[in-house]
């Protein structure tokens, strides 16, 4: 292609989009699964990853469990791992892991096991900490 000739695109193609994804909507796979996947599992941009110590809060854990339950419905219908992964917008490896757990332990194997650890600060300690934080840094000897 010479520098003088403009680049041409195929009609209907979109820059930065994969071909063959249907409508081009990010939640197109969700329509097949009842329209329940409008957001990412984390629910917010810039969410902390596990390696950074962020973990998942109760809401995020419930969202992940809901996605695993949708995968279980696909397992019951006999769908292939790749189809389930594409529909739920998760990795095939995750679906393989979920299917193995589902096969070994049933639906209980896909349920959330609860928070990773117990709260380190109790309600009374948290209230005291909140009071101290409201006093501010200057009160505690830090420069303004």
Domain limits at 66? Answer: 28-115
Residue 17 resides in a domain = no
Residue 62 resides in a domain = yes
Cβ neighbours, 10 Å, residue 97: 13
pLDDT (tens digit, 9 = 90+) per residue, 123-136? 899 899 999 999 99
**In this structure, are residues 102 and 110 in contact, taking their beta carbons and an 8 Å threshold?**
yes
pLDDT at residue 77, rounded to an integer: 95
Determine what percent of the chain falls in helix, strand and coil, rounding each to the nearest 5.
45, 0, 55
Closest CA to 78 of 61, 50, 99, 107: 99
pLDDT at residue 99, rounded to an integer: 96
Cβ neighbours, 10 Å, residue 94: 17
pLDDT (tens digit, 9 = 90+) per residue, 3-33? 555 555 555 545 544 545 444 554 444 444 5
Q: Residue 110: pLDDT above 70?
A: yes
Residue 58 resides in a domain = yes
Residue 124 resides in a domain = no
Residue 46 resides in a domain = yes
Give the model's confidence band at 56: pLDDT under 50 very low, under 70 low, under 90 confident, else very high. confident
Q: Residue 35: pLDDT above 50?
A: no
Better-predicted residue by pLDDT, 55 or 83: 83
Give me the number of domains the chain comprises.
1
Residue 133 resides in a domain = no
pLDDT at residue 44, rounded to an integer: 47
């Amino acid at each position: 292609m010479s520098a003088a000739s403009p680049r041409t695109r195929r009609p209907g193609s979109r820059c930065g989009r994969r071909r063959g994804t249907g409508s081009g909507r990010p939640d197109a796979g969700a329509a097949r699964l009842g329209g329940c996947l409008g957001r990412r599992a984390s629910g917010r941009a810039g969410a902390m990853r596990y390696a950074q110590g962020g973990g998942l809060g109760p809401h995020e854990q419930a969202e992940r469990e809901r996605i695993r339950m949708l995968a279980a419905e696909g397992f019951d219908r006999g769908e292939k791992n790749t189809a389930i992964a594409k529909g739920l917008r998760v990795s095939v490896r995750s679906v393989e892991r979920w299917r193995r757990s589902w096969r070994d332990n049933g639906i209980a194997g896909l349920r959330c096991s609860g928070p990773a650890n117990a709260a380190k600060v109790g309600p009374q300690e948290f209230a005291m900490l909140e009071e101290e934080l409201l006093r501010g840094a200057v009160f505690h000897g830090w420069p303004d």
